[in-house]
Amino acid sequence: MKMRSIKYIQRLTGIAALLLTLFACSPEMDDAVDIGPAPTEDQLDFTITPGANDFKFVLTNTSSITGIVSWDLGNGNKSTDVSPVATYPLPGNYTITMTLITKGGMAQKSKTLTQTKTDYSIFTDEKFILLSGGADDLDGKTWVLDSLATGHLGVGPAGTAGLEWWSAAPLAKKNVKVLYDDELNLKITGFVATLTNHGKSYVKGFVKNSSGYSNPVEIDSDFSVDYNPSPGTWFVEEKDGKNYLTLGGPTPMFPIFDVGAVNGSYQILKLEENLLELVATGGDGNAWHYQLIPKGYVKPSVSADLSVVAAGGPNTYNVSLTNFNIPAGQSISGVTFNFGDGDPVTNTDYTAVATHTYMRQGTYTISATITTSVGTLNRSYSLVVASNHPDYVPFLLDEMVMYNDFSEVAMAPVLGEDCSVTTVTNPSKVYPNRSASVAFYSKTNKEWGNAYMKLPAGYRFDLRLVSTFKVKVYGKAGDKVLLKLENTDRGGNAWQTGTADLVYTIKNSNVWEVAEFNMAGNSAGWDWTGDIYTSDVTTDDRFNHDFYNVVRIMLNPGVGSGTHEFYFDELSGPHVEGIKSAKIN
């Protein structure tokens, strides 16, 4: 086993950046002579002296001229320290190269260090074993980004963990196809590091023109580059009580995402069997965060069930999370319960029980949105409330109710099925419609494209005292507007409950008109099926209340070619049992 000597001095972009900044930033260079000839190798020199043990050596610049010094340590690592301490744990000849830059140019000097001893302690060092699998895993250990974890990438101010400014949400870079399938393999044999990137890597913009990179393409604020990495080296060293993973090689070597880490050095924040957390000082001077896991490792995930249990009072239920499992290192930060008939309730205490009482009979979908450290979990439960609450007092109104005027009142939204329904500026603000905003309907090559309004769970139209629906229309003379009611309790068979078609023909082009649709005497259902049918929905108790929950509006129904458009506004009609007034926006 020998540590290879690497003569990759510096990326061209790094040299360029250094030359651009050293004159303004370096006190040493302020003392340098005016621009003249480039320094020569005979003006350069450095010493190699033993360090704290047999495997550490101190490098000291003893050149006869002043300049900015950088080092290729010959063990795969680089350094910009004035007097670095280099580690050589395996026997071999290591070529150490010092580069010195002055205002006049640059020069290099190399020396060879011969190491004859082996530091056997690294083969039993937990850090090396956890990173590479150790001597028992000669194929090495392969790491990938923990893409499902919050903070698998991040950035923050220098000296921090690199999460303050941006902490990547799970799969935050899912549109970057070249990122999440990359792998970094670390072998303890020869301390070989191998980056597998399938020919492309994801890099920061300030390194996109580095040597070895080509064809940079911007994706999601950073860049994809064509790149075929060569095998490199890795090692772990302790500095000032902190452990650093150093990656180097003849071509750029990095953990999946290249941020131009200074000296290829990554501080190890956390190292476990199935977790590697790093932070590096990037080429922009900021702290960049990484979280990786072994390839193929499936993290235990947060799980929970939604419990809905009848409470003491009528139509009252306790809603909570049960059977939750929270693996070590993960968490639940809150839960939002939606009861299906009103405002949701959010608790930061995920063990809290929410109690809710339903006043109206009906089928309600209760949902829980659970916020966890690994993303959002959604759970739902369908609850059937068989009867009204004893305290509920039914009431009847003999006046029409405004359902939606697209400006101020919205009992429920009006949506489009096989057509588009959008809120737009009124094309003609004259009587009988001076509203600021109206609805615009458009269908193309769809026979039954319809605008529909579905009442909230538990609510139904009451046709017993008022049976007329009204809507203001503005379109092309001769176009036909259809209105009908349905009950969606039957799902895909809702059509079996539909009322017979009521059609209004627009009289004048581009003039607001009031279209009326009276359900009195109108049939519903299908008499030939032998199933639910009535000849008059307003007199049949099965249909005239607690039944219909959807109103549909169609333009030129049955016409399946071409584009058909019109404006409509102020959809109104019979009382809705359970809702005394529409919501005011």
pLDDT score, position 94: 94
**304-308-311-315 Cα dihedral, nearest 10 degrees:** 150
CATH 2.60.40.10, applies to 303-385: yes
**Residue 554 CB neighbour total at 10 angstroms:** 27
249 within 8 A of 239, measured Cβ to Cβ: no
Paired tokens of 471: 């809507």
Say how many Å lie between the first and final Cα of the chain, rounded. Answer: 74
The domain 12-118: what is its CATH number?
2.60.40.10
Q: What is the pLDDT of residues 189-222, one digit of tens each?
A: 889 999 999 999 999 999 999 999 999 999 999 9
Query: How confident is the model over 242-294, as pLDDT tens digits?
Result: 999 999 989 999 999 999 999 899 999 999 999 999 999 999 999 999 999 99
How would residue 408 be classed by pLDDT, with cut points 50, 70 and 90? confident
Q: Which residues contact 200 (CB under 8 A, 6 or more apart)?
A: 178, 224, 225, 226, 227
**Strands 533-534 and 524-525, sheet pairing:** antiparallel
What's the pLDDT at 373?
A: 80
pLDDT value at 34 more than 50: no
Taking the model in full, what pTM does it have? 0.52
Q: Would you say the C-alpha torsion 453, 454, 455, 456 has a positive or negative sign? A: negative
**Three-state SS sequence of 481-511:** EEEEEECHHHHHHHHHHCECCEEEECCCCCC
Q: Which long-range contacts (CB under 8 A, 24 or more apart) does 305-312 make?
A: 305/379, 306/366, 306/367, 306/368, 306/379, 306/380, 306/381, 308/366, 308/381, 308/383, 311/355
Kindly report, residue by residue over 473-508, the tens digit of the pLDDT. Answer: 999 999 999 999 999 988 888 888 999 999 999 999
CB 450 within 8 A of CB 553: yes
Same fold, 12-118 and 303-385: yes
What's the alpha-carbon Rg for the chain, to the nearest Å?
36
User: Where along the chain do its domains lie?
Assistant: 12-118, 121-294, 303-385, 401-577
| pLDDT value of residue 477 | 97
Pull the structure tokens for residue 555.
Answer: 């333009």
Residue 582: which pLDDT band, with cuts at 50, 70 and 90?
Answer: low
Q: In terms of pLDDT, which residue wins out, 508 or 9? A: 508
- Strand order of the β-sheet with 85-87 is 46-50, 56-61, 85-87
Residues in the chain, overall count = 585
The whole-number average pLDDT for the span 49-61 is 94
Of 2.20.25.90, 1.10.20.60, 2.60.120.260, 3.40.50.2300, which CATH number belongs to 401-577? 2.60.120.260
Task: Give the whole-angstrom CA distance, residue 257 versus residue 202.
Answer: 5
Structure tokens at 384: 């059937």
CATH architecture assignment, domain 121-294: Beta Barrel (2.40)
pLDDT digits (tens, 9 = 90+) for 540-579: 999 999 899 999 999 999 999 999 999 999 999 998 876 6
- For residue 230, with 0-12 CB atoms within 10 Å meaning exposed, 13-18 middle and 19 or more buried, which class applies? middle
**DSSP state string for 146-207:** -TTSTTSEEEESTTS-S-SSEEPPTTTTTT-TTTTT-EEEE-SGGGEEEEE-TTEEEE-GGG
Q: What is the DSSP letter of 528?
A: G
Q: Number of C-alpha atoms within 13 angstroms, CB side, residue 15?
A: 15
